[in-house]
Amino acid sequence: MSSPTTTRPASDATRVAQAAREVVQAHDPRSVPREELFGALYDAGLAWVHHPEGLGGLGLSRGLQPVVDQIVTDAGGERMFAVNPIGYGMGAPTVVEYGPDREQVGAWLRPMATGEEIWCQLFSEPGAGSDVAGLATSAVRDGDEWVVNGQKVWTTLAHVARWGMLVARTDPDRPKHRGLTYFVIDMTQPGVDVRPLRQMTGQAEFNEVHLHDARVLDAHRLGEVGAGWTVAITTLMNERTAIGGVTGRRGSGVIGEALGLWRAHPDRHTPVLRDRLAALWTRAETHRLTLARARRTASAGQPGPEGSVSKLVGAELNQDVYEFCMDLLGPDALLYDDWTMDRGRVHTDPNSTVQQRFLRSRANTIEGGTSEVMRNILGERVLGLPGEPRSDSDRPWKEVPRG
């Protein structure tokens, strides 16, 4: 008599891949609206596979998300991050961890995943860029609401955003890191004035935002009053991972663009350019493998210092690759005439030219924390080096001199 056979459960990766294939078969990315496809992915738990079930996830490892992304892009779809980078990459993990209640979090997440509601990040100010904790925008309690006044700057996609992640000062009598509170603010309300900042690309994806007696519900507060810096760290670590942590196949991404340009211009090959390309390819592959290892290590929790590593290395590599591309193009590199101030596109636009991407890459070592800040973080938190002297750490914010 033969022994009964046992059916082994499918691995999580197999389960995720099968679910993703079923979604793209039922909602062909080449024939259905993007919102329909992304909505189906959210409902299937494939928007953020590491989120809890019912909130766009399956409660699985963060490291399985690339499985979904690859199946969707192979079928002709877009990555959710490319459509709503601030919301998808930074807003979602923050509201899941600190959201007021499950119902409100779900109400934010689904339109965030579909791209129907774009999010922006209201952190930096004219007097508080790298030192975000020194910000001056105020929020004063008024019953069940807070009244916000101040100015933010370099706010990506604020001009198309429905919601903004706002950090404001609620207690000027406490030291700068301990008097902040984190809110989700309606960007379409009266008192929110968004003004474009034209970049050298000719586009205006960045903005300055003026807040004059704008109101935000206390029910839209993330975390406790005065604990905004702790919440903001979650956003910032996910931002750095999102900016520098996209992995793909060997030879893909920006180095893939350089290789494609190299093949398209055999008449411009020189030994010097060949050596530069080989060195860049080695750096890109080292970066890709390091990211893959870091993702496996951190797949069960929130990103740690490895996000700063990937952001630092990825930003500088991106700039060097596009400098190579411009040198390879020679005089053709000067042919750029996209000065339309197109405010509908985001910086991940796949149809942008090499020239536009070269110009846009100058922002890579500034956005999400400058390279200098990243090196300080890695030196202090990873290598254990002494921190820089800080004279304002324990002083009430209102007593700290400001220019």
Closest to 26 (Cα-Cα) out of 43, 40, 42: 40
Angle at 31 (CA atoms; ends 27, 36), nearest 5 degrees: 45
Model pLDDT, residue 335? 86
Prediction pTM value: 0.86
Structure tokens that stand for 357 in this block = 């991407």
Q: Which residues are catalytic?
A: 239
The predicted structure's pLDDT at residue 299: 53
Residue with tokens 């005089």: 331
User: Would you state the structure tokens that stand for residue 326, as one six-digit string?
Assistant: 């411009």
**C-alpha to C-alpha distance for 264 and 262, rounded to whole angstroms:** 5
- Collapsing DSSP to helix, strand or coil, 287 comes out as helix
Positions of E strands within 133-175: 138-142, 145-153, 161-169
Report the C-alpha gap between 265 and 275 in whole angstroms.
Answer: 16
**Fold of the CATH domain 119-228:** Butyryl-CoA Dehydrogenase, subunit A; domain 2 (2.40.110)
Round to whole Å and give the CA distance between 68 and 62: 11
Helix/strand/coil for 202: coil
* CA gap 346, 84 in Å, rounded: 9
Q: State the pLDDT at residue 246.
A: 57
**Cβ–Cβ under 8 Å, residues 202 and 191:** no
Q: Which of 267, 293, 290, 174 is nearest to 226 (CA)?
A: 174
pLDDT at 8: 40
User: In degrees to the nearest 10, what's the CA dihedral of 175, 176, 179, 182?
Assistant: -160
Q: Are 251 and 110 in contact (CB under 8 A)?
A: no
Per-10-residue mean pLDDT, the chain, length 403: 45 95 97 97 97 96 89 94 92 95 96 97 90 94 98 94 98 95 98 93 89 98 97 85 64 91 95 97 91 65 65 92 96 80 55 86 86 87 84 84 73
Q: With CA atoms as reference, report the closest residue to 315 among 255, 370, 377.
A: 370
Please report where in the chains the tokens 């030192």 appear, as a residue.
131
Instruction: Show the tokens assigned to 189.
Output: 């309300």
- Give the architecture-level CATH label for domain 233-382: Up-down Bundle (1.20)
Where along the chain do its domains lie? 14-78, 119-228, 233-382
Distance CA 375, CA 373 (A): 5
Q: Are 133 and 229 in contact (CB under 8 A)?
A: yes
